[in-house]
């Protein structure tokens, strides 16, 4: 069985040491970096299953490092930030982060988040191995097995999480899901652990890519006070 490998990039020794201990007790291998130098090279070298990335680092900005990694990899990334403004949290999600944790935090909480994201990755791989029929809507062809969304011959560029969210909603047309339910099904998380705004940001990003008018969407509908539904 493949041993999971997590890369932690943080300049606070207490964080890396305590969180590493929690994860290693779970049988997870951990590599740590204390600066933003050579993060992308390390990712290419060790091919981790997940990255924990601090926003404020000596030798690099976490958001820029995240964007650099996303040019070549869809590895799950959890951002660590001491910033509490919604703008900073949204910036991380829009740059391609899968989750974020605000400092100060409990090392046990972060370890739980890591394990949750890793479990989700395993479930996603299992879903890939189980063939699912394509879904047609509007001018789009969504192929869950190939993890592709096409309009004609053009592939629509979606992040891994955007694709998973769209595929989940498209598989249950006209069914309404709350943001909490979507966190549970798509992120394997809950509002107790993760801000429901995560869902809002991803819905907004998908709309800009598939809707003719994102402000008046045809497919990803908002059900005011409840959540979202997919219209074929």
Does the structure show a pLDDT above 90 at 111? no
Q: What is the C-alpha to C-alpha distance for residues 62 and 11, in angstroms, rounded to an integer?
A: 12
In this structure, are residues 113 and 50 in contact, taking their beta carbons and an 8 Å threshold? no
Residue 59, pLDDT score: 85
The residue-averaged pLDDT of 110-139 equals 78
Residue 5, pLDDT score: 94
Provide the token pair at 115: 């394990």
Does the structure show a pLDDT above 90 at 212? yes
- Nearest Cα to 169, choosing from 192, 197, 137? 137
Tell if the pTM clears 0.75, that is, is over it: no
Domains 5-126 and 132-230 are alike in CATH topology: no
Fold annotation for 132-230: Arc Repressor Mutant, subunit A (1.10.10)
- The CATH class of 5-126 is alpha beta
- 61 beta partners: 56
Residue 99, pLDDT score: 79
Domain ranges within the chain, ordered by starting residue: 5-126, 132-230
Candidate from 71-80, 81-90, 138-147 with smallest mean pLDDT = 81-90
For residue 220, report the phi and psi dihedrals to the nearest 5 degrees. Answer: -95, 95
Does the structure show a pLDDT above 80 at 84? no
Write the CB contacts of 173 (distance below 8 Å, at least 6 apart in sequence). 229, 230, 231, 232
Provide the token pair at 187: 């992120």
Does the structure show a pLDDT above 70 at 126? no
Provide the token pair at 23: 């994860």
Residue 125, pLDDT score: 64
pLDDT band at 100 (very low <50, low <70, confident <90, very high): confident
């Amino acid at each position: 069985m493949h041993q999971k490998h997590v890369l932690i990039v943080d300049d606070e020794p207490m964080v890396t040491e305590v969180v590493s201990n929690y994860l290693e007790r779970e049988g997870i291998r951990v590599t740590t970096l204390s600066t933003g130098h050579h993060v992308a090279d390390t990712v290419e070298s060790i091919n981790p299953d997940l990255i924990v990335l601090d926003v404020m680092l000596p030798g690099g900005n976490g958001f820029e490092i995240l964007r650099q990694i996303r040019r070549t990899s869809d590895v799950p990334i959890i951002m660590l930030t001491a910033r509490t403004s919604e703008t900073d949290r949204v910036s991380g999600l829009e740059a391609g982060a899968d989750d974020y944790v605000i400092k100060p935090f409990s090392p046990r909480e972060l370890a739980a988040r890591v394990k949750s994201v890793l479990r989700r990755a395993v479930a996603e791989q299992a879903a890939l191995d189980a063939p699912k029929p394509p879904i047609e809507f509007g001018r789009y062809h969504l192929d869950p097995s190939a993890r592709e969304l096409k309009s004609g011959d053009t592939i629509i560029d979606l992040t891994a999480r955007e694709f998973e969210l769209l595929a989940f909603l498209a598989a249950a047309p006209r069914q309404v899901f709350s943001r909490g339910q979507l966190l549970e099904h798509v992120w394997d998380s809950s509002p107790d652990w993760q801000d429901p705004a995560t869902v809002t940001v991803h819905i907004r990003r998908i709309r800009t890519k598939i809707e003719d008018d994102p402000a008046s969407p045809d497919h990803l509908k908002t059900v005011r006070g409840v959540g979202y539904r997919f219209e074929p």
